Amino acid sequence: MKQADVVVIGGSAAGIPAAITSRRHYPDKSVLLVRKEEQVQIPCGIPYIYGTVNSPENNLIPDGVLTNNGIELLVDEAKAIDRENRKVLTSSGEKIVYDKLILATGSSPLELPIPGLDKENVFTIMKDAPYLQKLLDAVNKAKDIVILGGGFIGVEFADECKKNRDVNVTIVELLPHCLMLAFEEDLCVEAEEILKERGIDLITGVKLEEVVGDQKISGVKVSDGREIKADMLIVGVGVKPNIGMAEDAGLEVDRGGIVVDSTLRTSDENIFACGDCTSKKSFFTGQPSGLKLASIATMEARIAGANLFGKRRENPGTLGVFSTAIGDMTFGMAGLSEKLAKESGYDVVTGQAEAPNRHPGGMPGMAKMKVKLVFNKKTGELIGGQVRGGPSAGELINTISACIQKKMTADDIATFQLGTHPAVTASPIAYQLVNAAEMAIKDMRC
C-alpha cells in the first residue's frame, strides 16, 4: 500500500502543474502523481507530429519536470476512489492512501453516430504515443486524406499533413467557415485563403454522413450528395470529459464534467478537480462554458494545487484565449468576439488598427499585424480582442487577455506604457493595441 499527502490522478496539462503547485505551496507535503501512460504527449503539439517535429517521440513532456520538483511518479491506471477510506485503487491492485486528491483525468474524443467510423484507416486524436505513431505511419502512406472538423485541431492537422508530402488533403466542416467557433468571420476568411494557397481543399457548410468502403475506408459521403475520395479519415471534432471514475465515486457531475466550486473543490471536501474533466463557467456571464483548452487546464491546476490545505486562489471563470499558426501567419482571439458579445447582451463598441510589426516597415521579419478590440460601451471595459500577424501575434493576444482579466478600459489601454524596438515591435506611434483602443474611444464619444 502506498501513501501520500497529495495524490494527483492524470499526468498531462492539468495533472503536472497541479502536482508542481502543490509542492510549491506546501513543501512539507508528499505528492504522488498517478498516470496510465508510459509517455505523455504535449497536447497542443500533437498536430505537429505529422510535419514539423515528425515523431511522437519529439513531442513528449519529460518526466524530469516531476522528479526535479520532488514529485513521485506511479505509472498505473487509477480505476476507483474509495472516498470513505480516502484510497485510490489501481488496475494493478495497488491501494494508495491520500489526504487530498486532485482529479485531472482529462477528456476523450467525441463518439459520433456516423456509419463507417469503425473502418480501417479512420482515426481520432488520442493522446497516446503508440496510437499517434500508427496514425503517422498511415499519413505517410496515404494519398487522399479527409479531415473532419475545421477547428484548430483540424486546420493544424491539414497544414501539417500537407508539408513535404504529395498528398490530397480535404477539410470537411459543418459551419460556413473553418475556425468559426473561435474567430470572427473576417479572420476565418483570411485563414481559409492561406489554407487554399497551401493546397488544402475546403468543403464547408456540409455534414459528413457516411464513411464508405469495405473493411478499409475508400471515401466519405457528405450532406450535399458528394462523395469524396479518401484512403484515410482523421476525426477532430471535439472531446468529452473523462468523468466515469468521479461519477462512480458519487461526486457531483453535470454535462460539462465534474462540478467544482471557485476553488476547484468537488462535492467532496478532500477532492479537487481541474482541466478538461471539470465543468466550467464563463468569465463574462457565469453561464456554463464548453471550452476545453490546455491553457485553461494549467490555470485551473494552479488554483487547485494552491487551495488543498487552505483557500489561496479562486477561479474567475473561463475567458477563452486561442491562437494558431497557418504557414507564416498567426491568428489569435481572446474573450468575446463582437458577434458573441452582442448575443450575450452587451452594447459594444470596437476599434481596429493595422500596421507593420517592425519599424520601419523595411526591417527584416516585418509582417502586417491587425488588431481588433471589443469594448463594453457602458463601462468602457475590454471584453474581447483578435490579432492577425506574424509570430508575435501569439504573445500580443496574451497581453490582450491580461487586459480583459484586469478589466482595463479603453482609456487604460490607450495610455498603456509599453516598450518598443525597431527589430521586434511596431512603432510606438503605430502600436496596434493602443491605436485600436483610441479608435474605439472615438466611437464611444459619438
Average pLDDT over residues 209-230: 97
pLDDT in tens, 162-190: 998 999 999 999 999 999 999 999 999 99
| Confidence check: pLDDT of 442 > 90 | no
| Confidence check: pLDDT of 3 > 70 | yes
Q: DSSP code of 347?
A: -
Strand 78-82, strand 72-75: pairing:
unpaired
CA distance 383 to 444: 15
Domains of the chain: 2-108+240-306 (3.50.50.60), 111-237 (3.50.50.60), 328-444 (3.30.390.30)
The residues, ordered by sequence, that sit 6+ positions from 218 with a Cβ below 8 Å of its Cβ are 212, 229, 230, 231
Nearest to 240 by CA among 324, 124, 75, 88: 124
Average pLDDT over residues 110-132: 96
Strands (E), 206-343: 208-213, 217-222, 227-229, 232-235, 239-241, 253-254, 257-258, 271-273, 280-281, 288-289, 321-326, 329-335
The alpha carbon of residue 36 and the mean position of all alpha carbons in its chain are separated, in whole angstroms, by 22
pLDDT in tens, 338-353: 999 999 999 999 999 9
Joined together, the cell numbers standing for residue 383 give 471584453
Cα-flanking dihedrals φ and ψ of residue 349, to 5°? Answer: -135, 145
Band of residue 70 on the pLDDT scale cut at 50, 70, 90: very high
Nearest to 397 by CA among 329, 335, 315: 335
pLDDT in tens, 278-301: 999 999 999 999 999 999 999 999
Q: Tell me, what's the pLDDT at 446?
A: 63
Quick check: helix, strand or coil at residue 280? strand
pLDDT in tens, 296-310: 999 999 999 999 999
Average pLDDT over residues 91-108: 97
Average pLDDT over residues 107-113: 95
Q: Quote the mean pLDDT of the chain.
A: 96
Element at 305 (helix H, strand E): helix 294-306
Q: Tell me, what's the pLDDT at 443?
A: 81
Q: Tell me, what's the pLDDT at 444?
A: 83
Strand 227-229, strand 232-235: pairing:
unpaired
CA distances from 437 to 161, 401, 430 (A): 39, 14, 12
Q: DSSP code of 57?
A: G
Q: What percent of the chain has pLDDT over 70?
A: 100
Nearest to 238 by CA among 335, 160, 116, 151: 151
